[in-house]
């Protein structure tokens, strides 16, 4: 049994040789993520070249930094005890620290009010704002801990007015366009304008790169509907999100976002610390296994590994663990057509996709087969979360890789065929050669009678032998 849930692995240029990437691919990795916060263009190029040497089926996803705040100019680590007080402010150009802790956002003092919490280094140190002055905030440490250079700074519940794209982000977007990367995952998306700003750059160069919105703060959660109007998909980036939002609310938010993405028939990724202990341990904790299982029970499209594969001691084992948990949990899942959860909105493609998935549960169907020019039919079939595999024959290698993010879809590339009958026959022969099914198996085919550019228009249920012998 193959897994339906897709796996994303973060890869560093420090460990990206072809043999290593091949191992991850064979264990079930579908997408490679590059974290640009820690890479140069040359570093990223090394990863890209090696991924493409392994397989043209592996999709590439580039992360931007987005509007983040970090500590700056901390030459020596500063240790605070609970109750210690310190001044903090945003750094202006060429300004020295003096007696203040500096952060990378110049208007920090203007945006933050008395009574707000400031969290340093993913919440390891909590500071409370007790006084606000014209040019600095006086804060009190609520627990003990160090302040180091270039560590994250979060202010829960405060709308920070940073620009969506940094200078480095813009150069990496240009780089992604040049390299024909499949996805850009934009960090700290707050509203639709953050997505539109990137889309304008892509449109300027007529680029087909797709945008994944990383939801990492309350604003992103509050504006999820308008963000979904403009993004290709969503990543629930639980690291910063768990700092910005009370931890007990996170499972509910995760479930709601997954459901909204399914309604919109858009891919959704659950990310951050899914197998964090496996950075150093060969085995996961029970809580981590339950976390992965919960995301799959929620019906996510994809789950993501970060440090586990970027620099951890057990990267291959981490991917294997994810795959094995996915396969086990998916045995217990039923398609959402039972609840008719995903609306069809009177779209023919959606109605046929829903009918195909529903039929596959009522009949001894081995697989659903479709062809797709844009990937829409594959995404729609994925949205209904069936238990039968979906084999999508794509007329573009880019579309094939885009479907690497869609639940239950195994995409392949083939040249455009002249007629419906030729598509049906050649599809059956191709998939039988790969031993996906035999001539005696029953399959469902959906496709277009008037050419792939016109969308799907028919559904056929038959044994494979009957399809291959049609006149």
More confident residue, 187 or 424: 187
Report the C-alpha gap between 379 and 328 in whole angstroms.
Answer: 23
Q: So which residues are the catalytic ones?
A: 33, 70, 214, 272
Instruction: Give residue limits of the domains in the chain.
Output: 6-67+163-330, 71-154, 336-468
Structure confidence by residue, pLDDT tens digits, 29-82? 999 999 987 789 999 999 999 999 999 999 999 999 888 899 998 888 899 999
CB atoms within 10 A of CB 103: 23
Structure confidence by residue, pLDDT tens digits, 371-388? 888 999 999 999 999 999
Sequence-distant (≥ 6) Cβ neighbours of residue 8 within 8 angstroms: 29, 30, 31, 32, 33, 61, 269, 271, 302, 303, 304, 305
Which pLDDT belongs to residue 471?
44
Structure confidence by residue, pLDDT tens digits, 213-239? 999 999 999 999 999 999 999 999 998
Separation in Å, CA 245 to CA 56, 191, 253, 276: 39, 17, 10, 20
Which pLDDT belongs to residue 199?
97
- The rounded mean pLDDT for the chain is 92
CATH node for 336-468: 3.40.1380.20
Report the C-alpha gap between 343 and 383 in whole angstroms.
Answer: 10
Q: What is the pTM of this model?
A: 0.92
Assess whether pLDDT exceeds 60 at residue 450: no
Contacts 24+ apart (CB under 8 A), 24-27: 24/309, 24/315, 24/316, 24/319, 25/54, 25/55, 25/58, 27/316, 27/319, 27/320, 27/323
CB atoms within 10 A of CB 447: 23
Report the C-alpha gap between 370 and 378 in whole angstroms.
Answer: 7
φ, ψ of residue 458 to 5 degrees: the values are -145, 155
More confident residue, 415 or 453: 415
Domain at 71-154, CATH homologous superfamily? PK beta-barrel domain-like (2.40.33.10)
Of 206, 276, 178, 271, whose CA–CA distance to 233 is shortest? 271
Sign of CA dihedral 11, 13, 18, 19: negative
CATH class of 6-67+163-330: alpha beta
């Amino acid at each position: 049994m193959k897994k339906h849930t897709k796996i994303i692995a973060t890869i560093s240029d420090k460990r990206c040789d072809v043999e290593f990437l091949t191992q991850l691919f064979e264990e079930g990795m579908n997408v490679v993520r590059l974290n640009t916060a820690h890479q140069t263009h040359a570093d990223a190029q090394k990863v890209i070249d090696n991924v493409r040497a392994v397989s043209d089926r592996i999709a590439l996803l580039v992360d931007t930094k987005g509007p983040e705040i970090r500590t700056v100019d901390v030459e020596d680590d500063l240790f605070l005890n609970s109750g210690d007080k310190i001044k903090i402010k945003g750094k202006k150009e060429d300004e020295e620290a003096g007696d203040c802790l500096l952060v990378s956002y110049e208007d920090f003092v203007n945006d933050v009010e008395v009574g707000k919490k400031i969290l340093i280094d993913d919440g390891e140190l909590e500071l409370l704002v007790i006084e606000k002055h014209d040019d600095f905030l006086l804060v009190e440490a609520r627990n003990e801990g160090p302040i180091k250079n270039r560590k994250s700074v979060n202010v829960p519940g405060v709308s920070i007015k940073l620009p969506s794209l940094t200078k480095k982000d813009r150069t990496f977007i240009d780089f992604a366009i040049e390299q024909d990367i499949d996805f850009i995952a934009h960090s700290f998306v707050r509203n639709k304008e953050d997505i539109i700003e990137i889309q304008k750059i892509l449109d300027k160069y007529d680029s087909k790169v797709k945008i994944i919105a990383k939801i990492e703060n309350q604003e992103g959660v509050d504006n999820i509907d308008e963000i979904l109007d403009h993004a290709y998909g969503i990543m629930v980036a639980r690291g910063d999100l768990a700092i910005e939002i009370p931890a007990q609310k996170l499972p509910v938010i995760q479930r709601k976002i997954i459901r909204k993405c399914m309604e919109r028939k858009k891919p959704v990724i659950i990310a951050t610390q899914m197998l964090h202990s496996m950075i150093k341990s060969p085995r996961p904790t029970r809580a981590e296994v339950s976390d992965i299982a919960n995301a799959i029970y929620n019906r996510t499209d994809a789950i993501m590994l970060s440090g586990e594969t970027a620099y951890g001691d057990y990267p291959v084992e981490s991917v294997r663990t994810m795959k094995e948990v996915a396969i086990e949990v998916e045995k217990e899942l039923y398609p959402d057509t039972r609840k008719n959860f995903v609306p069809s909105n009177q779209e023919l493609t959606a109605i046929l996709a829903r009918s195909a998935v529903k039929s596959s549960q009522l009949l001894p169907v081995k697989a659903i087969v479709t062809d797709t020019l844009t990937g829409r039919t594959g995404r729609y079939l994925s949205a209904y979360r069936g238990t039968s595999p979906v084999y999508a024959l794509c007329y573009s290698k880019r579309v094939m890789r885009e479907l690497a993010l869609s639940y239950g879809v195994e995409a392949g590339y083939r040249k455009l065929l002249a007629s419906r009958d030729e598509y049906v026959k050649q599809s059956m022969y191709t998939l039988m050669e790969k031993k996906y099914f035999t001539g005696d198996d029953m399959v469902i085919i959906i496709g277009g009678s008037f050419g792939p550019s016109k969308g799907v228009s028919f559904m056929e249920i038959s044994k494979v032998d009957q399809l291959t012998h049609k006149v």
